[in-house]
Structure 1
Amino acid sequence: PAPAPSRSSLSERDEAFLEDLSRRLFRYFWEQADPQTGLVADRARTDGSPHDETHRDIASIASTGFGLTALCIAAERRWISGGQARERVRATLRFFAERATHERGWFYHWMDKATGERRWNSEISSIDTALLLGGVLTARQYYRSDAEIHRLATKIYERIDFRWMLNGHATLLSHGWRPETGFIKHRWDTYSEHTLLNLLAIGSRTSPVPPEAWYGWKREWITYAGYRYIFGAPPLFIHQYSHAWVDYRGWREKRPPRVDYFENSVKATRAHRAFCIDLAREFPGYSSNVWGITASDSAKGYVAWGGPPRDPAIDGTVVPCAAGGSLMLTPDISLPALMTMREKFGDRVYGRYGFVDAFNPNTGWVGPDVIGIDVGILLLSAENLRTGNVWRWFMRNGEILQAMRLAGLERYRRERAGPRRRAAA
């Protein structure tokens, strides 16, 4: 496997910042989970106080996948005792393996945190089940000497009927299914955060989809500020979520143009920062170190925004997990951005669970919440920058390496650029 970033590339000040931030981010997954089910809240108030009745008891299975991974990070760093972490992981896996409602192994997107009952009439979600599996399989390898954890995690993965989610298509998986109406008509047909889902499906030992599924989706290219890369939806998270677990460093597609998806996400992040700097003419709150737009809360509610290209909804809001989710990709620009946000805006935007979900430096609006998946991508990205541990644990799953090879990805020696220096403030 490719080497983890060298610890020496982070200064003591960098490490101190990342340690404080990461502990706060983990606190969310510890405090906002039900100890019996392990289900993690979809969102919470920034100070940890009870949410309104609409959201108070709602858990997200994607947040729970990040949470399982967070428990492994916390155990390794001794933020909690090994016994505490192991018991929470066991409880979570027991719930999903033995109690949670599922359809051919796939789970509902939103559940009641305490009971696991379907909430908000949500769909059986293919992508959210995949993000849950990211955590399930990370735990399987972190606790690989624990027979019960290994058995439960394997049961959860191997029970999933991936071929069923194709809904008759040769290669493209559906977004999901509802008992009332059947399959969702949308499929994973263009580049997005779904590459993890694709690999899990191709690598399945019980219900694999054809390896051609990897090449079934469209690859559309964009060029911005001199960066050319494959893109899909506007939010930056599509270039981050799969990378939290799958270590794409040093892998590329065999077929021309031999795309390296790690480098693709690096270019997407650099282009996105340039895009935000260009927006500063309209919204002067953006700058070289205050940037980042991805799906988030806003003064007008939840918005799946980003760019390039320009999203007409953009109103000057900054989403810390946009820059933060790319710590593992572009530390030279992402780390100064987070440090600048904390220094410039202080405890208005930085609190019990790290950064608020979003804030607008142009209007003074600060979001009252944090969102589990946004907390999660920031924590996992920070850990991969610091140690590469999440990549290392997840990539021990033989199904993933098998899937990458079946899909036609190959190892190669990336040309090493010079040492990455921190961008000037």
Structure 2
Amino acid sequence: MIKISVLFIAFTFLGCSSYNDKSNESDKAKTPITQVSDEELIDLVQKQTFAYFWEYAEPNSGLARERFHPDGFYPENDAHVVTTGGSGFGLMAIVSGMSRGYVTKDEGTKRLNKIANFLANADRFHGAWSHWIDGNTGKVKPFGIKDNGGDLVETSFLAAGFIVVREYLKNGTADEKAVSLKFDELWKGIDWQWYTNNQNKLYWHWSPNYNWDMNFALEGYNECLITYVMAASSPSHPITPAAYHEGWARNGGIVSTKTKYNLPLILKHNGAEEFGGPLFWAHYSYLGLDPNQLTDKYANYWDLNSNHTKINYLYAIANPKSYKGYGAYYWGLTASYSRNEDGSVGYDAHMPSNDKGVISPTAAISSIVYTPNESKAFIRNLYENYKNDTWGVAGFYDAHSQHYQWTTKRYLAIDQGPEMVMLENYRTGLIWNLFMNAPEVKKGLINLGFHSGKYKF
């Protein structure tokens, strides 16, 4: 079980090879025609996506809205609900925007100060924030009946953003240094040890009303590697290496010997061991954590993520369900808004073993670090051939289906954020370098048994 099943319920109620004959004719008809350079197109996408976290952020807190609907219609009246994890991605996006001059450093510092002040006064549970927060009040907005307290995974995504902001501002002006210190204090206030529940593993949730009732242990492999990295890196409340090796890695049980399309999966993807899970598993943990030349006793993390992405890509080329458009220029399955059988909008964890004919732009775009040529081909195809259907005020909309001639003209923070950050990492490595060079991150990774040829530890 992964938490995506909970997400599904919540939202319901609210160039590796040539493509085969199944998608050949459609792809040939849509062969992109070069109009702008790759660099110009990437910058256009990155800048437009940045708007999600700047122009369309929740106004009182400055944090990332859970979702943004350009038409202004929010079925659950949740326009002011902010998302903790997506806001962590947003912090990285703001740093990227500042570095590129999308906003001035002074403007960015003021926004970051506003965010730090809001988070310092928001509800916390042994230092962790809830999955959703009311942007007007700072109070927890329950994600579910028992999910009304600390969410450690979402908090870990947020904390990775803290590190990036702190490192970016720490040697700046007096104002920048002051904001850097605020994020450092927020980071040090998270009690990672509490979330072990006195065991050698981390738990996702704790509630002041329901205690540990959700009983969701973090065991790999899925999107939660960064949670263990952050917990081991804490200068104030670190976990022991045993929690990582016994809990996350399941005493070595995390290792897989399976292959798909002649590519080793390397680790056992929870509930998706044939093709690997949704592609956000190759993104969320690795926005700050640089998988280049990163290894431990269980995996080479570049190979892990590269193979995962290429398997997803090759599945689209094979196109076993004969969905219209699937192929070398149209691919990428991950969790996003989705199309229900009746044509209404839902939410689903798309992956080869759960393919609904819906492509999520974040899947291919955020994978650009692993598959640059294939991701650029996807971006160009979508922008030049399907722009009217897929492009909006904050970049590409969240989900699209050629097969059903369907688009959801909506956005989610957890999808726009990885696009913005991975495009920056592909172009400059900025976010990776800020995070990986933080002294406590290096120490935490070393304590867990990681080695990095790139960062020399």
TM-score (normalised: structure 1):
0.88
2:307 aligned residue (267, 282, 286): 267
1:223 correspondence with 2:259: yes
Q: CA deviation at 1:237?
A: 0.5
- Measure the CA separation in 2 of the matches of 1:204 and 1:361: 46
Give the structure 1 partner of residue 54 of structure 2: 30
- Measure the CA separation in 2 of the matches of 1:411 and 1:15: 29
Q: CA deviation at 1:62?
A: 1.2
Give the structure 1 partner of residue 96 of structure 2: 73
Counterparts of 1:6-405 in structure 2, within 5 Å, are 13-45=37-69, 47=70, 49=72, 51-97=74-120, 99-122=121-144, 123=147, 124-145=150-171, 146-170=176-200, 172-183=201-212, 184-216=214-246, 217=248, 218=250, 219-221=254-256, 222-229=258-265, 230-233=267-270, 234-253=277-296, 255=297, 259-279=299-319, 281-300=321-340, 301-308=345-352, 310-311=353-354, 314-405=355-446
Q: CA deviation at 1:280?
A: 5.2
CA contact (8 A) 2:68 2:410 kept: yes
- Measure the CA separation in 1 of the matches of 2:331 and 2:157: 26
Q: CA deviation at 1:159?
A: 1.0
Give the structure 1 partner of residue 25 of structure 2: none
Three-state SS of the structure 1 residue aligned to 2:333 is: coil
- Could you list the per-position Cα deviations for residues 35-78 of structure 1 after superposition, in whole angstroms to 9, with x for gaps in the alignment? 44222110112x36453453322110112111111111111111
Three-state SS of the structure 2 residue aligned to 1:139 is: helix
Q: CA deviation at 1:304?
A: 3.7
CA contact (8 A) 1:289 1:340 kept: yes
- Measure the CA separation in 1 of the matches of 2:202 and 2:278: 21
- Measure the CA separation in 2 of the matches of 1:21 and 1:231: 33
Which 5+ residue runs of structure 1 have no aligned equivalent?
1-10, 415-425
- Could you list the per-position Cα deviations for residues 392-418 of structure 1 after superposition, in whole angstroms to 9, with x for gaps in the alignment? 11122111111111111123489xxxx
- Measure the CA separation in 1 of the matches of 2:104 and 2:74: 28
**Greater mean alpha carbon deviation, residues 120-129 or residues 78-87:** 120-129
- Measure the CA separation in 1 of the matches of 2:158 and 2:410: 22
Cα RMSD (Å): 1.9
Q: CA deviation at 1:137?
A: 1.1
Q: CA deviation at 1:281?
A: 4.7
C-alpha spacing 1:50/1:281, structure 2 compared with 1 (3 Å)? closer
Give the structure 2 partner of residue 4 of structure 1: none
Q: What amino acid sits opposite 1:272 in the alignment? A: N
Q: What amino acid sits opposite 1:237 in the alignment? A: F
- Could you list the per-position Cα deviations for residues 239-273 of structure 1 after superposition, in whole angstroms to 9, with x for gaps in the alignment? 111111111211211x3xx5111221011000111
- Measure the CA separation in 2 of the matches of 1:403 and 1:299: 41
- Measure the CA separation in 2 of the matches of 1:368 and 1:231: 34
Three-state SS of the structure 1 residue aligned to 2:411 is: strand
- Measure the CA separation in 2 of the matches of 1:104 and 1:84: 32
Q: CA deviation at 1:387?
A: 0.7
Q: CA deviation at 1:121?
A: 4.8
CA contact (8 A) 1:159 1:206 kept: yes
Q: CA deviation at 1:220?
A: 4.3
- Measure the CA separation in 1 of the matches of 2:380 and 2:182: 40
Q: What amino acid sits opposite 2:415 in the alignment? A: D
State how many pairs are aligned. 395
- Measure the CA separation in 2 of the matches of 1:31 and 1:411: 37
Q: What amino acid sits opposite 1:108 in the alignment? A: S
Which 5+ residue runs of structure 2 have no aligned equivalent?
1-34, 271-276
TM-score (normalised: structure 2):
0.82
**Greater mean alpha carbon deviation, residues 353-362 or residues 394-403:** 394-403
- Measure the CA separation in 1 of the matches of 2:454 and 2:334: 31
Give the structure 2 partner of residue 419 of structure 1: none
Q: CA deviation at 1:306?
A: 3.4
